[in-house]
Structure 1
Amino acid sequence: MKCHELAEKVSQLRPELSPTDVARLCLMILNQEEDPSRLEDPKALHAVWQNVSFRFDAATDQHTAVSRELDSLLNDGPVEFTPDQLWTLLRAVKVQGQMLDLYTRDIAFA
């Protein structure tokens, strides 16, 4: 399956998505599926799409939460790197790695 064919199918599944969101979802779907020809099957496409959507939503939620923690950390004044602050920074790195995993086939080791 070619990217434009997948984009048409995704647009039919989710007509409310912007072209940018369709392109983003197509990239994540194609990176998730080893055999793009398998996406010709509507059930297989739906299963991969649900998996990608779930992972994206979870990573987005985590990203939002960590962003708030980082904003709070920066607003606390000078950073003294307490254990809690270090854990916040480590979580931020981990979440960024999860976001990268969605857009690439390589696993981010964060």
Structure 2
Amino acid sequence: MKCHELAEKVSQLRPELSPTDVARLCLMILNQEENPSRLDDPAALQSIWQNVSFRFEAATDQHAAVSRELDTLLNDGPIEFSPDQLWTLLRAVKVQGQMLDLYTKDVSFA
């Protein structure tokens, strides 16, 4: 299945989505599924879609939380890199890796 074919299916299933959201969702679905012809099956497409949506929502929530932590860290004044600050930075790197995993087939090792 080509991206434009999947985009048509997604647009039919969810007409309220913007073109940008359709494109984003198509990319994540195609990266999730190793056999694109499987996406012709509506049940398989629905299952993959749910998996991708769950992963995206979880990563988005984590990203928002880490962003708030980083903002707090930056507003605390001079950074002395205490253990807590280092853990915050490491969590931020991990969350960025999770977001990248959604958009690429390669697994990041962050």
User: Shorter-chain-normalised TM-score: which range?
Assistant: over 0.9
Query: Which stretches of structure 1, 4 residues or longer, exceed 4 Å deviation after superposition?
Result: none
Please list the CA deviations of residues 87-108 of structure 1 after superposition, one character each: whole Å capped at 9, or x if unmatched: 0000000000000000000000
For 2:93 and 2:71, the matched residues in 1 are separated by 15
For 1:95 and 1:38, the matched residues in 2 are separated by 29
Paired residue secondary structure (1:106): coil
2:109 is aligned to 109
Does residue 75 of structure 2 align to residue 50 of structure 1? no
- The AA in structure 2 aligned to 1:97 is G
For 1:48 and 1:91, the matched residues in 2 are separated by 27
Shift of 1:7: 0.3
Could you tell me the TM-score, scaled by structure 2's length? Answer: 0.98
1:32 is aligned to 32
2:61 is aligned to 61
- Residue identity over aligned pairs, in percent, reads 87
Count of residues in correspondence between the two structures: 110
Shift of 1:11: 1.0
Paired residue secondary structure (1:101): helix
Gaps of 5+ in 2: none
Shift of 1:74: 0.3
For 2:104 and 2:60, the matched residues in 1 are separated by 16
2:76 is aligned to 76
Comparing 94-103 with 6-15, greater Cα deviation is found at: 6-15
Gaps of 5+ in 1: none
Comparing 8-17 with 76-85, greater Cα deviation is found at: 8-17
C-alpha RMSD over aligned residues: 0.5
For 2:14 and 2:84, the matched residues in 1 are separated by 41
Shift of 1:12: 1.6
Could you tell me the TM-score, scaled by structure 1's length? Answer: 0.98
For 2:72 and 2:98, the matched residues in 1 are separated by 22
2:98 is aligned to 98
